[in-house]
């Protein structure tokens, strides 16, 4: 089950400058800079309200973020959703025609801070969609550790009224 939008991934050239910009202009609260070598990147989660902006910069001329920047320049890379079970989410959505980058979710160790202020140094499972299977949007589904508090949950939202 999809529970909430928790992050917006943003590819940047200069992680320090982007962090300062979000801090100064949006009042973001930055977390620690972390490296993720499998993607050739470093990142900083900058919290604004109930959403983290995952600012991602390449650590070399290779890797996922370096390639994204070369093709598209700086900007939104992905949208992340918290899910109860990422493997089940991938199985169910895959059966509905949603394509995924990998056949199985990935697992990696991260330092994550929940929306209640608790810090977890733990493994998280995650899976990325193929953008072409969902309106050219790269979506990340994330299974946070047990006890992780989310911000406000997703709801159906207000009903759209028809114009008179």
CATH code for position 26: 3.10.180.10
Residues facing 128 on adjacent strands: 140
For residue 158, is it within any domain? no
Taking the C-alpha atoms of residue 95 and residue 66, their distance in angstroms, rounded to an integer, is 32
pLDDT at 151: 75
Structural domain containing residue 42: 2-143
Q: Is the pLDDT of residue 156 over 50?
A: no
Residue 135 domain flag: yes
pLDDT > 70 in the chain, percent:
92
- 64: Cβ contacts below 8 Å, ≥ 6 apart: 39, 40, 41
134 within some domain: yes
What is the domain count for the chain? 1
- SS3 category, 125: strand
Residue 20: inside a domain: yes
Convert the pLDDT of each residue in 66-108 to its tens digit.
Answer: 999 999 999 999 999 999 999 999 999 999 999 999 999 999 9
Task: Tell me if 10 is assigned to some domain.
Answer: yes
The pLDDT mean for the chain works out to: 92
């Amino acid at each position: 089950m999809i529970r909430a939008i928790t992050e917006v991934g943003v590819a940047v050239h200069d992680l320090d400058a982007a962090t300062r910009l979000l801090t100064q202009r949006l009042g973001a609260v930055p977390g620690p800079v972390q490296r993720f070598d499998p993607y050739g990147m470093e990142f900083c989660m900058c919290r604004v309200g109930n959403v983290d902006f995952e600012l991602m910069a390449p650590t070399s001329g290779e890797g996922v973020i370096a390639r994204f920047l070369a093709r598209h320049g700086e900007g939104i890379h992905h949208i992340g959703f918290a899910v109860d079970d990422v493997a089940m989410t991938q199985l169910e959505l895959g059966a509905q025609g949603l394509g995924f980058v990998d056949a199985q979710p990935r697992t990696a160790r991260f330092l994550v801070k929940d929306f209640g202020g608790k810090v977890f140094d733990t493994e998280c499972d995650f899976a990325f969609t193929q953008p072409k299977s969902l309106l050219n949007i790269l979506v990340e589904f994330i299974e946070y550790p047990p006890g992780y508090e989310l911000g406000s949950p997703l709801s159906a939202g207000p009903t759209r009224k028809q114009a008179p």
